[in-house]
Structure formats: C-alpha cells, structure tokens
Amino acid sequence: MPKARSSIKHAELKAPEGIVRCLTAIRHLFLVAMLLSIAVPVIAHPMGNFSVNHYSGITLTRAQIELLYIIDMAEIPTFQELQAAGLKADPRDPHISTYLTAKADEFWRGISLKLDGRPLELECAERQVIFPPGAGGLPTMKFGFTCRAPLTRLTFSRHRLEYHDDNFPG
C-alpha cells in the first residue's frame, strides 16, 4: 500500500525569544545555587583552620577618630590561645574580662596610628569576644575592640593619617 502523503507541512516550533532568555537565566541561577551549596563549608575560614584574619575600620570626624579592630581566629589558633590563657570558649567565663583587657593592651602595642606625624592616644571604649562554632565542632574566636581618640585643632585642610598593624605578621 502506498503511503499517503500529507499535505500538512510540519512547522518548526520555536519558543519566543523572551522565554528562551528566561529559561537560560533560570539554568544559570540553578548552576550558581548548586555551586554555592557545595562551597558553603569553605566560607567560614577561606584561609584555612590555621588563619588569623584582621579587620580595621577607621572613622574620622572633626571631633574624634574611631578604630574598630577585629581579630578572627580559626580553630587551631583559638585552641592554642585558649590553652595558653587557661580559658573556656565561653564569653561568660569569669576570667574573660581580665583577658580582654590584657589582649587589648597587647594588640595596641602592635598598632600605630598617627595623624600628621603625631601618635594618637587611643582609648579602648568597648571589648568583646565571641566563640562561633567552627569545623568539626571546634570553637573559633573573634575579638572586637572599639577605640577612640579625641581630635583637637583639626582644621579643614589636608591631613595625613598613617596606620600600621603589626599583630600576627605573615
């Protein structure tokens, strides 16, 4: 039997261009989400379990200069520091206040802050420590210090601010 020929031509089905772009974007977002879900454990300490990370935020006004100083210790340096200080990873430990005062003094010896060549006398207004959980259930330690120095005779002219942090070199 001869095959019947169809007079109906098959039309190519094409999705509208906007839908194609939308589907491509959804695929890309899905891929990024998958990659991020795999990378989450690495975000805690991108430099590894031995890292000590620094952050210094300096705010300058006509009346004062403020330094926010944060030290973030990964699991291994936290363990070593807690052992050396005889502390528990608990901000309510009765020895934490004395420890934070001593650490603030130690850190300030490693910091130099000068305005127009003159050293600024920073006074520590706030001291905090937290112990976020790290890899394998080990604690990490984050110090936060806010220090201020009053500024006198500061005029609307050009000034030079010099800052050096020599704590935990390398």
- If asked whether residues 158 and 74 sit together in one domain, one would say yes
Q: Which residue has the higher pLDDT, 67 or 48?
A: 67
- If asked whether residues 32 and 60 sit together in one domain, one would say no
**Residue 153 confidence (pLDDT):** 74
- If asked whether residues 59 and 130 sit together in one domain, one would say yes
**Residue 2 confidence (pLDDT):** 53
155 falls within a domain: yes
Angle at 109 between CA 130 and CA 80, to 5 degrees: 45
Structural domain span for residue 125:
52-165
- If asked whether residues 69 and 140 sit together in one domain, one would say yes
Tell me, yes or no, if the pTM score tops 0.75: no
71 falls within a domain: yes
**Residue 136 confidence (pLDDT):** 87
Q: What is the pLDDT of residues 110-152, one digit of tens each?
A: 999 999 999 999 999 999 999 999 988 899 999 999 999 999 8
145, 104 contact by CB (below 8 A): yes
Which residues have C-beta within 8 Å of that of residue 95, sequence separation ≥ 6?
Answer: 85, 86, 87
170 falls within a domain: no
Q: What is the pLDDT of residues 42-57, one digit of tens each?
A: 445 566 788 999 999 9
pLDDT averaged over every residue in the chain: 82
Count structural domains, the chain: 2
